[in-house]
Structure 1
């Protein structure tokens, strides 16, 4: 299992537009990606509802995880998104 730790950059956290963009990108990966905050159970990164219930706010550190062929590349792509201001127009 591969993991990446990344800080949420979007000012609104992983809610609304950032959650939708992240879920779409995660769903397009060839491997299942999960996301969690340190003391929470992981949720599927491809689920908008899961992302919103995670409660990840601006500045929170989250842990992305994936397993299988292509997992490292998929995590790199999703980590880049989480670390980007996604709620800017």
Structure 2
């Protein structure tokens, strides 16, 4: 489990949500994003967008299965990298 603070001024809108979902789909195990008790399947872009992650929100990334921590770190890196380019 990794906690990430969203720092992009536009939050996690369609482009970064699509990137997160694409990375998550490359993982054979279950991977979830969670905000304020709401949890979604990170492989589904609409579910990711439904979390409405805005600047300042903290999202929890949890991957279950073999190499789960590596996948969590890949998603964290993608979100942080996107935060810097926005």
Calculate the TM-score normalised by the size of structure 2.
0.86
Q: CA RMSD in A?
A: 1.9
Structure 1 residue ranges, 4+ long, deviating more than 3 angstroms after superposition: 86-89
Q: Which blocks of at least 5 consecutive residues in structure 1 are unaligned?
A: none
Distance in 1, Cα, partners of 2:83 & 2:20: 9
Q: Which blocks of at least 5 consecutive residues in structure 2 are unaligned?
A: none
Structure with the largest fraction of helix: 2
Distance in 2, Cα, partners of 1:80 & 1:87: 11
Structure-to-structure mapping, 1:18-33, within 5 angstroms? 18-33=16-31
Report the number of matched residues. Answer: 86
Structure-to-structure mapping, 1:1-89, within 5 angstroms? 3-37=1-35, 39-85=36-82, 88=85
> What displacement does 1:59 show?
2.2
CA contact (8 A) 1:9 1:82 kept: no
> What displacement does 1:58 show?
1.6
> What displacement does 1:87 show?
8.6
